[in-house]
Each structure stands twice: as C-alpha cells, then as structure tokens.
Chain A
Amino acid sequence: MEILSLLGQGFVVAATPLNIGLLLMGCFIGTLLGALPGLGPVNGVAVLIPLTFAFGFDPTSSMILLCAVYFGCMYGGRISSILLNIPGDEPAIMTTLDGYPMAVQGQAANALAISGVASFVGATIAVLGLSLFAPVLARAAIHFGPADYFALYILAFATIGGIAGVDPRKTLLSALIGLLLATVGLDPISGVPRYTFDSFHLYDGIEPIVALVGLFAISEILMLLEMHLKDRPKAIPVGSWLPQWGAIWKTRAAMLRGSGVGFVAGVLPGAGASLGSFMAYVAEKQWSNKKGTFGKGDPRGVAAPEAGNNAASGGALIPMLSLGVPGSGTTAVLLAMLISLNVQPGPLLFERQPDLVWGLVASLYMANIALLILNLPMIGIFTRLMMTPTWALMPVVAAVTFVGVYGISNSVFDLEMMVAFGVIGYVLRKMDVSLVPLVLGLLLGGDMERNLRRAMSISDGDWSILIASPISIGLYILTAGFLVLSVWLAVRDHRQTQAERLTEG
C-alpha cells in the first residue's frame, strides 16, 4: 500500500501541464529518431541535453523528457526493421527476422500493431517491476560477478546458431566475424591498442551503430541498385491498412514470455536491451517453433523480441536508479545527466528524492500509454510507406543514415567505416550469410571478453573461478540443456522427414 501512495504522489508530480507536454514531445521525437536508421537514443539525448540546460528545467522534468525519448526510441526502432529490413537501432535487429517477412507477405499492419502492443506490454511489465521490486532486485543483481556474466554470454552465444539458421556454419562464421571486430580498439584491461593500425579513430573500437547502419542500410541500398539493373523488383502487396485484433491476441503468450526474459536481462547491469531482445527471440523460438515458421514471418517472432527489448530498457532503469550502475549506453548518459543535475543516484535515491523517483516512474506509465496511442493510428501512415517506390525511398534512407552517423561523432572516418561495412554486408548477403549474428557478436563480444578477463584478474589466472559460483554453474547447465535439446530436436525432425519420405516413396 505504501507503494501505491508513493506512486500516487508520483502521478501528482508528473501530471503538471509542463511535464505532460514534455512527455508527449519526448515520445514523439523518440519514436521518430528510433524509426530513422542511424538516428537513435544517443542523438535524441544529445539534442535534448543542451535544451534542458537552456530552459533550466528541474531534474524531474528533465528526466521525464529524456526517459520519454529513450522509451520512444525503443518503440520506434521496430518500424524500419519491419518495413525496410533496416533496424532503427541496435535492439531492433531481432525484429527484422520475422517482421520484414511479415511485411513482404502484406502483413505490415499486423506486424506493426503486434510489435506496438508487445512494446507496450514489455515496457509496462518492466515499469511494474520497477515500482514494486526495484530495491530488492538491485540488491540481488550485485551477486552477479564477472564469472557469472561470462556464463550468461556463453549461453547467449550457444543459442546464436538457433536464430537464423539456414546453414549453421554460415551463422557461426557471421558470429565469429562479429567477435573478431569486437576486439578492435584499446584493450580495456591493459590499455594496449589492438588491430588499430596506428589510427586513433579505431582506439575506441568499432561503434556498433556505425556497423549496424552500414551492414543493413547501405547494403540494402546496394542490393536494390543491383536488382534494378537486373529486373524491376516486385511490388510488395500492401494488405490491409488496419491491423487484425485477433492476430494480436494470438501472440499474448509470446509477449509475456518475451517480457519476462527481457526484464531479467535489463535488471542485470552487465546485460542490456540487445541481449534482452535476442534472448527473448531465441527462447520464444525454442518454445514455440513447432512448425518451422520462425524466420519466415511468424507473428510470435515479432512479439517476443519487441516485448523483450522494451522490458529490458525499463529494467535497465533499476540498476541505474538504485545502484547508479548504467546498464546501457543511453542509461549511462541519463546517469551523467542526473549527476550534473545534482542528483546522486545510488542506494539512498529512493529515500532522499522520492518525488523524483516516483514522478519518473509515474511518467513512464504515462509515456507507455501515450506511445501506444501515438503509435497505433500511425500504422496506417507507416504501411503506406511500403508503397513508396524504392527510387524515392532509398535516397532518403541514404541521406538520413549519413546525417545520423555523422551526427554522433562529427567524424568523416565513421562515414567511411559505415560505407565499408555496407560493402561487407552486401558481400555477405550475396553469400547467404545472415548479418544478425555478426552484429550480435560485435555488440556482445566486448562485454563477454571483459567479464572473462575480469574473472581471470580476480582469480590471478585460475580458470576454476569460472565454475566457482552456483549462478554460473546453473547457467552452464542451462546452456548444455539447450544444446542437447537443439541437437535432439534436429535429429528427430531429420528422422521424421526421412520416415515421411520412406512412406511416401
């Protein structure tokens, strides 16, 4: 009951006209930035930080605005994943796997509606978790040590073969290229430059968003150019502009499962939204891919990762607020913002500044509802985008990606790198190599390595530390179970098809 009264207090703080105005503006800007490939939460926050200082908003209003942008981006990222096969931001890569096939089959409206509702469900569950259990969860998360994080990443990489497996060897190759690229830059442990070829631009490693935009957006443009030279692309049939509610209802279980998985990943400060959406997709595929429809436009393959990514983003606010540990790049910026507003995140924040914390939580509930209302009517507009001829659409996509990537760091080098990744992406796609594992390798590889190295530093090189805690042992058992199950299922399917062939023959 105490929480309810605190939350009520929060709604009183959040529901001022100024805060509601900022909330709506933040949601709108966030959705837009999320939807445009290359532009994302980093750009949004970069644009808005000077604005909040210029207007001298109090910490609560500033945080409401920035969190609305952050949540808005998570909603928006899915739009270009579904319509263009180009993820709007990092956590939206999993949505391309089933979202784009759905759009190609004329199901764009359904895919957008399912992902919108899934985003709402995921984010709402995360905010509920935040308001009910934040301090408890934060205290539990500190028991996750470097060896346990490493075990978690092992689980993630063991399941990577299951995401886009036409040919598991190609998936593995793609993931390994990603891992390789993740080692570029200053070694975080010893500070030694690796694979930088004496270029200072490579000291900070490869910025995942630059690689992502290059691999997906630039290569998509190259593919289209080639298709136009050969033959005109088939027009995508635009089905209904209105989503079917029954289709959304059918994915409810997938949404809930995805939210659960994503939320856990979000609460762990070493994991984050990308891992959340990835694990949610893999878990869902393992759970319900009985007919082999995943990867070919299964609505559950859209619902699970979207719920997972939004639940993880909300969950990441828990370690940020109650421990002061950012779980992602954007929460790191939010944290810096809090500190410069003279708010000290950490164990005492909930006691000392209940107005700020509960005002923020209340505004997140409001932002979720605002985003759902904002997003559903826009489905009609977005689906019409599918009818835009590619000769008109792609130049805009190209312009936006160049502007977005340049806007992050003011660096021409990043643009060159983006184009290089575009060419790599094009070549890999011609060889039927899925790009998703590559990006996952790049995104997760660095953290996986750092945690392994930290564990090794703690134990002074003794490998037994990796299996010294019950958490890591549990995760390894889960990994082994997953692998055994995958192999068993593959063998069973193989026998079935063989048996069918025999009976047919």
Chain B
Amino acid sequence: MDFDLMFSSLPKLLGASVVTLKLLSVSLFFGLIVGFLFAILRINKNIFINKFAYGYSYLFRGTPLLVQIFIIYFGLGQIEYLRSTFLWVILKEPYWCAIIAFTLNTGAYTSEILRSAFQTIKPGMIEAGKSLGIPNKIIFYKIQIPIAIRQSLPAYGNEIILMMKGTSLASTVTLMDLTGVAKYIISTTFKPIEVFIVAGGIYLFMTFIIYNVIKFLEKKYSFNT
C-alpha cells in the first residue's frame, strides 16, 4: 500500500471532483426541465404526442450512455451543415457534448419518474379540487405538482446517484473529471488499488451526501407530519 501516493493524489482528485460536480449539477438542472416537459407530453391524451414522448424515453433508456455521448461528440461533428451553424460552437466542445448527452439521458429517466408520479395521484384529489371550484391550472400547480414531487423524490434520488456515476463517462471524451484524472494517475503510476480507494472514497462521500439530502427532503415533504 503506497500511502504517499494516496496523499499526493488526493488534492488532484479533489480538484477533479469539482468538474464532476459541475457536470452533474448542470445536466441535472437541464435534465429536470427536459424531463418535466416530456412527462407532461407523456400524460397528454393525444396519441401522437404521447408516442413521441414514449419514443424519446425508450430510445435513451434502451441504449448505453456511452453510445449517446459518442454519437453526439463524434457523430454530429460529421454533418457538414451543423459545422456551419452557430451550434458548432457548442458541439465542438467536449464539455458541452457531455452535458447534452447527460441532459438528454437523465431527462428520459426523469420523465418516466415524473410520469409515474403524476399517474399515481388519486383521481379523488383532482376531483375534490374540481368540486371546490378550483381552476384546472391551479389544480395542476398547487395540487398535482407538489404531490408528484413528493412521490418522485425517492426514485429521483436514485437517478441523481446514477447520473453522478454516469458523469464518469465524460472521461471518454477527453474531459478530466474525477474518473479521468484517476485513470491518468493509474496509468502513470500503475497503482490501481490506491487510486481506486481515494477516488472511490470521494464518489462514495458524494453519494452519501446526496442520499442524506434526499432523505431529509423526503421527511420534510412527507404527508404525515
């Protein structure tokens, strides 16, 4: 066990975990918006809109995240037309390509989580709102959304942790996130176990924090308080 290496690599890995956290928070933010939009499309009664949203989530949940990143990073650059538009400014940066892939991926999972949350709301609650003469819009904002958020918290917490692990794939498109730096140190020192313990420890610490924040929120927003 090389403790010196563990100590000397800790600051480098901690610095890299900032990149990981940045990737995670940005893609979760956009992913939540995308997921919310598609969840609303999923509960729409129009069959085409419905099928479109289902197709999106099926496509992104049925393929590995690595394929999605590679299509966006290596694939889209191949289209001549895209190179001439302003989109190219974004698509030539591995950072934004990773963000786009993560956003679309987590958006697909989030839309499923929110959809099932909307669907588990008892019709009685909406009917009660209606019979009290509350407008549909307010029923949606003040009754359906808060309940859906509460319902989806545990599943969304899992999704955050899965996404945090997913950000490690950014290292495949040359980004130096926690896993990328860990791999670099491993391949230069050939001490995989030491680096794994430090990098894995940082990941576990982040998982632990996310887990407890979600647990706290669950308690705060639980029905029976």
Indicate whether A and B interact. no
Q: Which residues of A pack against B, CB within 8 Å?
A: none
